[in-house]
Structure 1
Amino acid sequence: MAIYHSHHAPVPPAQAHAFRQGIHDQVIGVVMFAASAALWIFPMVTHDGAKDAQVNEAVVGAFLMFVVGLRLYRGSSWRSDVVVGLAGLWMIASPYVLGLQKTDVDNASRVLDIAVGCVLVTTSLLSLVIVRADRRAGGTIRRH
């Protein structure tokens, strides 16, 4: 009878921390940056829909590009994840809030806002989960 031997050695803690930090700071950060850029660029390209919705998208997109750009450059902390998550929640709610003010919201803007908001909320939650897992494993992703 053969005995099964795993050829996979356990991953050293430092290497596991570096992997989690790379996922946290780079991969998730690039997805956040792409979503923020789409939010900022889309109103300038289309010129369709209500001006209130376009101004909202442009302002929130520019703000997020700054926050996420700092995240990519300096690394992130739970604070930047919370800011991105709150901005994502605002983008999900904004078509309805602006609609309550009797502001005409274009369907394309509504779809973009909700889609980008969902991406931002999901990535910020994933980032927070990775930070928590790294802290439990003894790593130190937190900065600033």
Structure 2
Amino acid sequence: MPYLTGEFECKLDAKGRMMIPTGLKKQLPEADDEGLVINRGLEKYLVIYTKTEWDKKLDELSKLNEYDRNAVKFVRYFTAGATTLMPDAAGRVNLPKNLTDYAGITGEVVLNCMLNKVELWDKAAHQQMINDEPENFAELAEQVMANKGRANNE
């Protein structure tokens, strides 16, 4: 799957449905046939995966030791609430209330493409996250990325 690109603002309707923005829908051609999977993020946001990407996550999780309590706990929390989203004829998906409650989503949302998944944030929480950017982003980049290419070049 090619990497996803873009940031999109949307509104939920009174029934909790969200129109998938055209620019994102073009990047997700398999969504109409296979659906998407939505779940909790590692913080107070939601994550949308293609079915193919979700299955890759499940494959990773299936390799964890089922007798390791932390692994079991992680799998339990990571998969709890995962729901398949099938776009309707109008291109809308119905977001599960338990997940929107978890993420504090009330109406306006931001869809933030992150490589092979889409983060779905409450608009105010997304703005707060952006405002909390590290004072020295270059330092963070160095810590995370400095040795990234070195192992491949040696």
TM-score normalised per structure 1: 0.29
TM-score normalised per structure 2: 0.28
Which one has the bigger helix percentage? 1
Larger radius of gyration: 1
